[in-house]
Amino acid sequence: MKVSEKLEAIIVEAKSHIELVKNLNELNDAKAKYLGKKGSFSDVMKLMRDLPNEDRPMFGKVTNEAKQVILGYIEEQRNILEQQIVNEKLSKETVDVTLPGREFTVGVKHILTQVIEEMEDLFIGMGYEIMEGPEVEIDEYNFEKLNLPKDHPARDMQDSFYITDDTLLRTHTSSVQVRTMLANKEKTPIKIICPGTVFRRDDDDATHSHQFMQIEGLVVDEKASMADLKGTLLEVARKMFGEDRKIRLRPSYFPFTEPSVEVDVSCHNCNGKGCNVCKGTGWIEILGSGIVNDNVLEACGYDSKKYQGFAFGIGVERMAMLRYGINDIRAFYTNDLRFIKQFKKWKKT
Ligand code: PHE
């Protein structure tokens, strides 16, 4: 058989073989079969040895051309196979954009947290610092330094959970007043609020809970008057219940403030005319406050001749109940999602 015929035969075979190859591995095998060291071409090349010198260049040229043709087939098939791989991948990874999306549920901050954060924003804006204090408190800070010595009758106002004779679950956040003053030793001004949980021995019902939250406020400076207190509390009332609210102060009693006042806000429901929210009075009680009692200043290391202060205690649940018309304090703690989720779309007033 002539060399050219032999090459022709290899080309024909290679073409039909390569066209049928199904993957890249098989393609590599085919390449080896025809062009590799032990492939069909090496056999042909062996023929060159028997040729006269003058015929060799021609032989080389022809075999080379044949090789190129086969390489061409291989490359063509490689392109086809690679394209197939891409197509398969694309069809597997197709996203059906018409499918409905998976819902991503975003949590809701508890309404009490929302109220506290809103208050914090307000007070930070007025230059206050946010403090924290322990929920397990010593009697000295919860009562004694607040002008409530042992056996003082006013202790009955705040029935407590005692852990030992001298430690208890704090009955109010006012203990943080004591802690702050003791830590500052006549440094002024003090301007703090302290949100936190407090505990009292109470039977739970719609308006009583053995655990609830307060936001304590304390300002101590060389001058801190009733007028300053009133202006501050007016801001609180307006932030919580709307810009047109008015407040009024009623005389009250707390051992740690003198004079003491209870603060009412004009009813946001009826605008002061009288309705069931304000029990017909036009006013709603929102917090207790007063001018820091001299005994408290002295007990906490401040010269009462030189310094004055005012303090207040805001009931967080009470604020939220009034604002949203919630009539059972237990709703805050029983974790019924239907209750909690209502405050998702909560809007600032
Ligand atoms: N600690 C008081 C209470 O829990 C509230 C209060 C705080 C009153 C600060 C006056 C000043 O009832």
Alpha-carbon gap, residue 309 to 319, rounded angstroms: 24
Ligand 1 atom at shortest distance from the alpha carbon of 174: 1
Measured in angstroms, how far is the CA atom of residue 287 from the centroid of ligand 1? 8
Q: How many CA atoms lie within 13 A of 8 on its CB side?
A: 5
Q: CB–CB of 265/256 below 8 Å? A: no
Q: What are phi and psi of 39, to 5 degrees?
A: -85, 180
Measured in angstroms, how far is the CA atom of residue 145 from the centroid of ligand 1? 14
User: Predicted confidence band at 349 (pLDDT cuts at 50, 70, 90)?
Assistant: very low
Instruction: Decide: 313 in ligand 1 pocket, CB within 6 A.
Output: yes
Mean pLDDT (the chain) is 92
Provide the 8-state DSSP code for 293: P
**Model confidence at 210: pLDDT above 60:** yes
**Rg, the chain, Cα only:** 44
Edge-to-edge order in the sheet of strand 308-315: 129-130, 190-199, 211-221, 308-315, 283-292, 257-266, 247-254
Over range 67-73, report the average pLDDT.
91
Measured in angstroms, how far is the CA atom of residue 14 from the centroid of ligand 1? 98
Tens digit of each residue's pLDDT (9 = 90 or more) over 319-342: 999 899 898 999 999 999 999 988
Measured in angstroms, how far is the CA atom of residue 91 from the centroid of ligand 1? 69
Out of 27-31, 128-132, 207-211, give the one with best mean pLDDT. Answer: 128-132
Over range 311-317, report the average pLDDT.
96
Instruction: Decide: 257 in ligand 1 pocket, CB within 6 A.
Output: yes
Tens digit of each residue's pLDDT (9 = 90 or more) over 77-98: 999 999 999 999 998 888 888 9
- Residue 345: the pLDDT is 61
- Residue 45: the pLDDT is 81
- pTM for this predicted structure: 0.71
Protein residue whose Cα sits closest to atom 2 of ligand 1: 313
**Model confidence at 272: pLDDT above 80:** yes
Q: Supply the DSSP string of 152-193, one letter for each residue.
A: -GGGGGS---BSSSSEEE-SSTTHHHHHHHHHHTT-S-EEEE
Over range 291-299, report the average pLDDT.
98
